[in-house]
Amino acid sequence: MTALHSPFSRKLGAFVALSGEELSALERLHGRRKSFAAGRDMVHQGQVNQSAYILASGWVCSYKLLSGGTRQIVDFQIPGDFLGLRSVLFRTADHNIEPVTRVEASEVLASDLLETFSRTPRLATAVLWAASRDEAMVVEHLVGIGRRDAKERTAHFLLELGARLKLVGLGTALEYSCPLSQYMLADAMGLSAVHVNRVLRELREDGLVTFQQGEVTIHDLDRLVTLADFDKTYLDHDGPLLK
């Protein structure tokens, strides 16, 4: 897959109309491709001099490991996402990154990243936009855990995933594949797996959404948006700001 058609370029293209020079720079960033098996961490909390990665295929989760052995999933990353950018800038990884499925990712060294940013400042601006968007999602997740009930929280999460996958060409607003288990959803949303199972059943019985066998189908988008109070402006998918 060339940089022009990669999920990462699709994502950045939502902010910047990428030039030939910028696509060439992306092509160079994609040059160091690696594969990772599901369940084996790509990045370890506390690791120093860690590379970043551009996720080309597969899903991963970012999580914090507490001293007592418990963990909290902070977010899930999909193709097109930049992994570990903060770890490169801070020089020490402050979270773990674990593949949910087998993944293909391009390793990006700090030196490569800084050189690319110096040569193509518009591309650096686009990556800053992507990082800001990811921060906005974390804010929404905090609001969800703190103020939305379980049904609203789950609905919001599924709508956000659909919007993210549609942006990189891996789904539509109404249908997409999702490899996440109910245990993973529970960990990310601050619920128990039993509670998640009950909420998904209620959403299905209400005719809103079905999540079965790794496939999400939204049956009534308007009602689901209303239930979740979902305002997608924080995802900023309305077209490039920089031409």
The band of 185, judged by pLDDT with boundaries at 50, 70 and 90, is very high
Tell me what pLDDT residue 243 has: 54
Tell me what pLDDT residue 53 has: 92
Tell me what pLDDT residue 155 has: 96
User: What radius of gyration, in Å, describes the C-alpha atoms of the chain?
Assistant: 18
Q: In the CATH scheme, what architecture does the domain 134-235 have? A: Orthogonal Bundle (1.10)
Query: What is 3-131's CATH topology?
Result: Jelly Rolls (2.60.120)
Domain ranges in the chain are 3-131, 134-235
Cβ distance 42 to 98 under 8 Å? yes
Provide the percentage of residues in the chain whose pLDDT is more than 70.
Answer: 95
Check pLDDT > 80 for residue 189: yes
Check pLDDT > 80 for residue 13: yes
pLDDT tens column, 113-163: 888 889 999 888 888 888 888 888 888 888 888 889 999 999 999 999 999
